[in-house]
Every structure is written in C-alpha cells, then in structure tokens.
Amino acid sequence: TRLHGWLAYTAFDLTEQRYVAVKIHQLNKNWRDEKKENYHKHACREYRIHKELDHPRIVKLYDYFSLDTDSFCTVLEYCEGNDLDFYLKQHKLMTEKEARSIIMQIVNALKYLNEIKPPIIHYDLKPGNILLVNGTACGEIKITDFGLSKIMDDDSYNSVDGMELTSQGAGTYWYLPPECFVVGKEPPKISNKVDVWSVGVIFYQCLYGRKPFGHNQSQQDILQENTILKATEVQFPPKPVVTPEAKAFIRRCLAYRKEDRIDVQQLACDPYLLPHIRKSVSTSSPAGSAVASTSGSSNNSSSN
C-alpha cells in the first residue's frame, strides 16, 4: 500500500517478536549522485532525530538502513487504523468532544518535544501526519513524519528571536502560520508557535469540516495570492454549533502576529484543554470536597 507518500508494508520482527511498519524509500534512478547524497543526508538527519524520541503519542522509529544505492528502508512502530486526513475525507467532521481529545493528545506530544534537549519544532503537523490508532476519532493518536522538523539547538535558536527558517517553501501551506511566508533579505524567524498555529488549523478542520484559510485553494494558489499572509482573523460559520470556549481557543492558536500567539508551554496549560471541573457550592467539609470531586469527574465525562 502507499502510505504517507512511501511504499509501506506490514512485517513481523522475528527478533523482537512484534509487527512493524516497513517503509521502502525509492530514490529516482535518474537523479545525479549529488542529489541522492543530499537526500540521504536529509533522511538520515530525520531518522537520527526521530529514533531518539520516546513518547506514547509519537510513532516510534526502530531502525533505518540502506538497501542499495537507490533505496533505503525505515522500520516503524506498527499502527492499525488510518490517519486523520483519511478520517476527515470519510466523515468530513467530528464532535467537539472527539476533536478536543485529539488536540489534547497532540499537545501532549508537543509539550514533550518542547521539553527535551534540544527541543524540536515538528513544522509539518497536519491531518495526514496524525495517526488514529484504532481508526476512530475517540481513541489514541500518534504523530508521525519528522521530515521537516527543526532542532532548536544553541547554534541556531535563541529565546528572543527564535531560529531562521532555512526550508522556506517546504511544508503544507494550509497549516503554516503567516511568519513562514514573509519574504525579505533575511529568512523569517520561527519558534514552536508554528506548531501552535497548526494545532488551531487542525482543530478548526475537525470541527467545521473545512480549513480556516485557503480551503478550496491549491498550494500554488495560496502562495500566489498570499492567502496565509492575509489570514489576519479567523471566521466561524454558524453551523455546526461550537462552544465559545472552543472558538476562543482557536483564536489563541491562530493569532496573526506570532508575538500575540501562545507558545507550546502556554498551549499545554490552556484552560480549554484542562479537565472541566464544576465548582461545588460547599467545599468546607470533607463531604463537600468529595461532592466537588465526584461532580467534577462526572462533568468531565459528559461535557467535553
């Protein structure tokens, strides 16, 4: 099957006694040796990054190796189900409760990527890179594809300006923020707020069944018409009905100026993503506390 742009197979690892996903990466035989070398270099960098990652919401990379001069292989954690892009094409949208659960899991992974040393910006968060482990919107997710990720090491990143975007033009334009499209003498500066914008776009798409900016446009149209550079304010259709809290959360993620946008640390602590606990009228007695706790948990299961 063709999976996420590569030829992919399910295999069984006899040593580890587990099923794995094996991707065969075929290089174009007509490429010059220099181009093949650059591709290998880029791919090996991605796999070195990915192999070190260890988080339940990130697809595990077990191994990578060359097959011959024109092809190489990656061995990944096997996940049944499909990606979020496939799900949205089949179902168009989902309930706010389901969408919020998916976003909470994505943010959990982003928090991890931000806390490791050196931190990592994924840079290519989109429905096609979000795997739904059991193929439904109400189960576990895993993030994959670190091909465009940015390592925020001391050489390239500082906390004031961020880091230079060295791969301008790459990525999936519907999910990238305005700062990635600024053209000037110097490359634009980016930070983990790129991933925050992507989270806002994905959440909006899950709720409304369409992208907030450039929904019917091609990548080329978005670039030519400066669609994202003009995306100063997100608009919400009247249907389906979405809570004001969800809309406010999307606005925080899709703040046009990166200076006004929350970062990953703030995203992880956002009130919309925290468990919704109903306050009890009486919390002075132990019994009152128990009531508050019980009502909070029942509210959490019914209103999210």
- Residues tagged active-site: 124
Say how far apart CA 16 and CA 182 lie, in whole Å: 47
| CA distance linking residue 239 with residue 35, whole number of Å | 49
- Beta carbons of 77 and 94 less than 8 angstroms apart: no
Please give the radius of gyration of the chain, using alpha carbons only, rounded to the nearest integer.
21
> For residues 212 and 214, what is the distance between their CA atoms, to the nearest angstrom?
7
Pairing of strands 141-143, 130-132: antiparallel
Residue written as token pair 């990578």: 64
Taking phi first (over 0 means left), then psi (-120 to 50 degrees means alpha), and beta for anything else, what does residue 184 get? beta
Which residues sit opposite 2 in a β-bridge?
A: 7
What the block records as the tokens of 235 is 């608009």
CB contact at 8 A, 140 and 212 = no
